[in-house]
Each structure stands twice: as C-alpha cells, then as structure tokens.
C-alpha cells in the first residue's frame, strides 16, 4: 500500500527551531517511515490505535518523533523530549486531533 506523508502545524513549528543537522536526521527517518511505517515501536494512546515513535538524539537531547498511521496517510505529529517521559503525549495528540478535524 502506498502511504502519503502529511505533517501537522505543531511539527512544522518544532522543526523550525532545530539545527540543519537535526533536520537532515529527521528527514532520513521520515524516508525510513515511508518505506515501512510499521517498522518502529508502537506506543499506546487513548485517541489513536496506530501511534509510533522513532528514537532520536537531536542536538544532544533524547527526543522522540511521533507519527500516526491513518490510512492512507502517515501523519508526522510532533517531537517530544524524552525527559518529559511521554507526559505530554496525550495533550499533543488532542491538539493534533483538533488540527485533523
């Protein structure tokens, strides 16, 4: 099945503040997601059944790239800092849910 990559406003705002090296790393991970969107680890969410995360080290910070699969789309949702221990995940997904509707 062919998936189409879409991004949220939240993700675009977050990526603007990153270095060029970090943006290239994220671009490479998005290319891997296009090839096999189910490759990375699935995480639990109350709102969506297919939420995945990609481990990243962006500018010395442990981060996670969060994406959703809502067929036929892959939605690149946001970047979470690992130190927050996913506490912000449901809040971000609620915000993204509002963007998608």
Domain ranges across the chain: 4-100
What does the pLDDT read at residue 37? Answer: 93
Q: Looking at 1-101, which runs of residues are DSSP E strands?
A: 4-7, 41-43, 51-58, 61-70, 73-81
Q: Is the pLDDT of residue 1 over 70?
A: no
What does the pLDDT read at residue 93? Answer: 84
What does the pLDDT read at residue 65? Answer: 95
Task: Give the span between the Cα atoms of 56 and 29, in whole angstroms.
Answer: 9
Q: How large is the average pLDDT for residues 71-98?
A: 83
Architecture of domain 4-100: 2-Layer Sandwich (3.30)
Q: Is the pLDDT of residue 101 over 80?
A: no
Tens-digit pLDDT profile for residues 28-53: 999 999 999 999 999 988 888 899 99
């Amino acid at each position: 099945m062919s998936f189409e990559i879409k991004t949220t406003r939240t993700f675009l705002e977050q990526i603007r503040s990153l270095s060029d090296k970090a943006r290239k790393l994220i671009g490479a991970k998005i290319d891997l997601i296009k090839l096999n969107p189910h490759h990375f680890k699935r995480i639990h969410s109350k709102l969506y059944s297919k939420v995945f995360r990609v481990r990243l080290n962006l500018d010395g910070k442990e981060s996670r790239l969060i994406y959703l699969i809502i067929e036929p789309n892959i939605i690149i949702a946001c970047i979470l800092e690992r130190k927050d221990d996913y506490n912000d995940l449901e809040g971000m997904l609620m915000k993204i849910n509002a963007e998608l509707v």
